[in-house]
């Protein structure tokens, strides 16, 4: 007998994306990405429960480089958003 896990023991991975938002009807989701990021930060900070849905949105829509750049800009006080 092998020690390899059986097919029944494999975890189920749920793949999903952010739901539609009537405020952003076009295919270009750049503005939605930025808005979700701003709404997360304004919702009591990144670690809050209120930020969870916005974080899921911006993490699925925004390129990782943008998120890192925005975090650096916020730390430096040069972020252009309405915070």
Please name the residue that has the structure tokens 């943008």. 66
pTM beyond 0.95: no
The answer to whether the CB of 32 falls within 8 A of the CB of 57 is yes
C-alpha pair distances (Å), 19 with each of 5, 24, 47, 63: 34, 11, 21, 18
Q: What is the mean pLDDT of residues 51-80?
A: 90
What is the residue whose two structure tokens read 């650096």? 72
Tell me how far apart the alpha carbons of residues 53 and 13 are, in angstroms, rounded to a whole number. Answer: 19
Residue-wise pLDDT for 3-16, tens only, equals 555 556 788 888 77
pLDDT(52) > 90? no
Question: Each residue of 53-62: pLDDT tens digit?
Answer: 888 889 999 9
Give the torsion through C-alpha atoms of 28, 29, 31, 35, to 10 deg.
170
pLDDT band at 30 (very low <50, low <70, confident <90, very high): confident
């Amino acid at each position: 007998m092998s020690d390899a896990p059986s097919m029944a023991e494999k975890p189920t991975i749920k793949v999903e994306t952010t739901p539609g938002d009537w405020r952003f009807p076009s295919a270009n989701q750049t503005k939605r990405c930025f808005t979700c990021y701003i709404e997360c930060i304004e919702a009591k900070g990144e670690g809050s429960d209120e930020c969870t849905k916005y974080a899921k949105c911006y993490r699925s829509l925004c390129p990782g480089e943008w998120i890192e750049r925005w975090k650096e800009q916020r730390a430096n006080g040069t972020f252009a958003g309405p915070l």
